[in-house]
Amino acid sequence: MNEVRILDKKFRELISEQAIRKRVDEIALQINRDLTGNEVIFVGILNGAFMFAADLFRKIKLTSRITFVKLASYQGISSSGAIKELIGWNEDLTDKNIVVVEDIVDTGATLERIVNELVIRNVAEVKIATMLLKPASYTRDIPIDYIGFEIPNKFVVGYGLDYNGYGRSLPSVYILVP
Ligand code: IMP
C-alpha cells in the first residue's frame, strides 16, 4: 500500500512499518542503557504519541511507569501556533526522571510548553524522545535526546498522526502528495 487517500488528500508512504519497528527497538535499547539504575516516568503526549509510546514502552526494561498528557495545537494541515488544551498532569513528578514521548516535533512549541510544565514540577531530569522531527521547522533550542526519523517540512500522517482525525491507524508514515 504505497498511496492512501484520506478525506480530500493523497499521501504516499515515507517510512515503512519495518523501518519504524527497527528504529523503535534501537531507541528503546538506547534508553535502557542511558537510564540503567534509574526509575523513570514516561510522559506520552496525546493524541499522536499513543502508538509510538505503546511500542516503545513495551521494550523498556527499566523500573518505570507511563502517564499521558494532552496538548493539541493543530487544526487541519497547518500549525495554528495556538496551543489549546492541556490536561492530565495528575502524577507527582517531583524528583523523577522523565522521558517525554512525542509523535512529532515541528516548530517545537508543544515541546517547549511540556518542558516548561515539567520544570515547574521540579523533576530531576528530562529526556525527550520523538518519533519524527522536522529539522527545517524546529526553532527551539531544547535538545532532543532520541529522534526516530528526520523528515521534510511537509505534512505527514500515520503511526498515530492524523489528518483531521483520520489516518492514525496506518502502520507506516505517509507524506502529503501536493
Ligand atoms: P509543534 O508544536 O509545532 O512542534 O507541533 C507539534 C504537534 O503538531 C504534534 O504533536 C502534532 O500533533 C502536530 N503536527 C505537527 N506536524 C504534523 C504533521 O505533519 N502531521 C500531523 N500532525 C502534526
pLDDT tens digits, residue range 122-159?
999 999 999 999 999 999 999 999 999 999 999 999 99
Asked if residue 117 lies in contact with residue 126, where contact means CB atoms within 8 angstroms, the answer is: no
Q: What pLDDT does residue 75 have?
A: 55
Is the shortest distance between the CB of 173 and ligand 1 below 6 Å? no
Q: What pLDDT does residue 76 have?
A: 57
To the nearest 10 degrees (0 to 180), the angle between helices 17-34 and 50-57 is: 60
Q: What pLDDT does residue 144 have?
A: 98
Q: Is residue 77 part of a domain?
A: yes
Q: What pLDDT does residue 71 have?
A: 74
Q: Is residue 173 part of a domain?
A: no
If you ran DSSP here, which 8-state letter would residue 120 be given? Answer: H
Which grid cell sits at 23?
528504529
Q: For residue 99, what are the β-bridge partners?
A: 42, 127
Domains of the chain: total: 1
Q: Is residue 41 part of a domain?
A: yes
Q: Whole-angstrom Cα distance, residue 162 to residue 77? A: 9
Distances (CA, A) of 158 to 3, 6, 171: 12, 11, 6
Q: Mark whether 55 is an active-site residue.
A: no
Q: Is residue 89 part of a domain?
A: yes
Tell me, in angstroms, the distance from the centre of ligand 1 to residue 38's CA.
30
pLDDT band for position 18 (50/70/90)? Answer: very high
| Cα 172–chain centre separation | 15
Residue-averaged pLDDT of the chain: 92
Distances (CA, A) of 161 to 59, 61, 88, 110, 127: 21, 26, 20, 15, 22
Judge whether residue 79 has pLDDT over 70: no
Q: What pLDDT does residue 85 have?
A: 53
Tell me, in angstroms, the distance from the centre of ligand 1 to residue 104's CA.
6
Q: Whole-angstrom Cα distance, residue 103 to residue 49? A: 4
Query: Which range of residues forms the domain containing residue 36?
Result: 17-152
Q: Mean pLDDT across the stretch 110-118?
A: 92
Q: Is residue 83 part of a domain?
A: yes
Q: Is residue 170 part of a domain?
A: no
For 29-46, how does the pLDDT look when each residue is reduced to its tens digit (9 = 90+)?
Answer: 999 999 999 999 999 999
Q: Is residue 104 part of a domain?
A: yes
Q: What pLDDT does residue 72 have?
A: 56
Judge whether residue 77 has pLDDT over 90: no
Q: Whole-angstrom Cα distance, residue 115 to residue 112? A: 5
CATH code where residue 80 lies: 3.40.50.2020
Q: Is residue 169 part of a domain?
A: no
Is the shortest distance between the CB of 161 and ligand 1 below 6 Å? yes
For residues 16 and 92, which has the higher predicted lDDT (pLDDT)? Answer: 16
